[in-house]
Structure 1
Amino acid sequence: MFDYRARVLDAELSERLTSIGAVLIDGPKGCGKTETALQQAKSSVRFDTDPNARALLGLNPDELFDQETPILFDEWQRAPEIWDQVRRHVDDLRRRGLYILTGSATPRYERELHSGAGRIGTLRMRPMSLFESGHSTGEVSLAALLRGEDQQAKRTAMTVPGLMERIVIGGWPALLDQSERTARGWLADYLAQVVDIDIPELGTGKRTPDRLRRALASLGRSVGTAIKVTALGADIAGDDHRAPAKETVNSYLDALDRLKLTENSPAWKPQMRSRTELREAPVRYFVDPSLGTAALQVGSRDLLADIEAAGFHFEAMAVRDLRIYAQPLGGAMYSWRESHGRKEVDAIVDTPDGWAAFEVKLTGDQNVIDSAAKGLLHFATDVDASKHGNPSALVVVTATGGGGKRTDGVHVLPISALGP
Structure 2
Amino acid sequence: MPKFSDRVERISISGIREVFEAAGEDAINLGLGQPDFPTPDHAREAAVEAIRAGETDAYTGNKGILPLREAIAAKHERDQGIDIDPDDVIATAGGSEALHIALEAHADPGDEVIIPDPGFVSYDALTKLTGAEPVPVPLRDDLTLDPADVEEAITDDTAAFVVNSPGNPTGAVSPPEDIREFARIAREHDILCVSDEVYEYTVFDGEHRSPAEFDDGGNTVIVNSSSKLYSMTGWRLGWVTGTSERVERMLRVHQYVQACASAPAQYAAEAALTGDQSIVAEMTESFERRRDLLVSGLEAVGIHVPTPRGAFYAMPEVPEGFVDECIDRGVVIVPGEAFGEAGEGYARISYATDEEELREAIAIMQDAYEAVTAQA
TM bucket (normalised to shorter chain) is: under 0.3
TM-score when normalising by structure 2:
0.26
TM-score when normalising by structure 1:
0.24
Higher relative contact order (CA 8 A, sep 6+): 2
Q: Which has the larger radius of gyration?
A: 1
